[in-house]
Amino acid sequence: MRIQVVSKDNFASAAADVITQYLSVKRDIQVCFTAGKTPIEPYREMVRRFKNGQFHPQKVTAFTLDEYAGIRKTDPHACFQTLSKHLYQGMDWPQDQLITYNEGLSVEAAAENYEESVVRGGGFELSILGIGVNGHVGFNEPGTSFDSRTHVAELAAATIRQAHDEGWGNAPKFGLTLGIGTLRESKHVLLIANGRNKADIVARIVDGDISETVPATAFREHPDSLLLIDEQAASQL
């Protein structure tokens, strides 16, 4: 895993640089996009570049990394809505190239169907993964097997607490997520973290043991993974 440390002010631009180079390739690819707070500014920067004509994505099929169980994709709290608001709508992304979990199926069937969709399309060219304060990626919480495929996950207390802090009083306790095993098969992986509250977990990811107790360490031995962090998140390295 390569590590790139940038200033707080350059974080969004640096992340957008990495992502747009893959979105501009002239062939059909699949890309996994994370929601959450960390990628919002990078996504806004990508939209700005798109509107300014600085880049135009080719045929990119976009997959949602994870989603809360039991809610519709139109729910304002849905991860798909976060991506739509901050990325897809601003770039006029074709609707048939936006893939998320099938809300018409049971959560177990939706997970199996999603995994099949990823495999059928040839896997991911790039997976963009935000890192949680407990080291989770997607809803792959501490203790998740590194071999896991797309599955229904019980959310950790820290994940539910974050949803509460963001104004969601009755957040679900379960979610659907691409598995660590699925994500590790991506050709390229971009892990992103910023802010001083991520400094402790970033240090554990970089210098600690590779362990299922810190899910993001699964990508330390990936053949082409980049950990992009700002100076605050790197402050304990």
Q: Which residues contact 193 (CB under 8 A, 6 or more apart)?
A: 38, 130, 131, 201, 202, 227, 228, 229, 230, 233
pTM here?
A: 0.96
Q: Is 10 a catalytic residue?
A: no
User: pLDDT tens across 180-207, in order?
Assistant: 999 999 999 999 999 999 999 999 999 9
- pLDDT at 26 > cutoff 90: no
Residue 235 lies in a domain: no
Q: pLDDT tens, 7-19? A: 999 999 999 999 9
Q: Cα 31 from chain centroid?
A: 10
**222 given a catalytic annotation:** no
Residue 136: active-site member? yes
* Distance from C-alpha of 14 to C-alpha of 3, rounded to nearest angstrom: 12
Answer whether residue 95 shows pLDDT above 90. Answer: yes
What's residue 223's pLDDT? 97
Which one-letter DSSP state was computed for residue 73?
A: T
Domain that holds residue 141: 2-230
| Residue 82: inside a domain | yes
Select which of 86, 136, 188, 222 is catalytic: 136
CATH code of residue 106 = 3.40.50.1360
44-49-55 Cα angle (round to 5): 130
237 within domain boundaries: no
Annotated active-site residue in 141, 151, 188, 194: 141
Please tell me which residue in 45, 66, 67, 230 is annotated as part of the active site: 66
76-88 average pLDDT score? 95
Q: Into how many domains does the chain fold?
A: 1
- CA-based nearest residue to 80, from 113, 46, 34: 34
Average pLDDT of the chain to the nearest whole number: 95
Q: Which of 67, 86, 134, 230 is catalytic?
A: 134
In angstroms, the CA 192 to CA 229 distance is 6
Residue 236 domain-assigned (yes or no): no
pLDDT tens digits along 116-174: 999 999 999 999 999 999 999 999 999 999 999 999 999 988 888 887 777 777 888 89
- Active-site residue, 66 included: yes
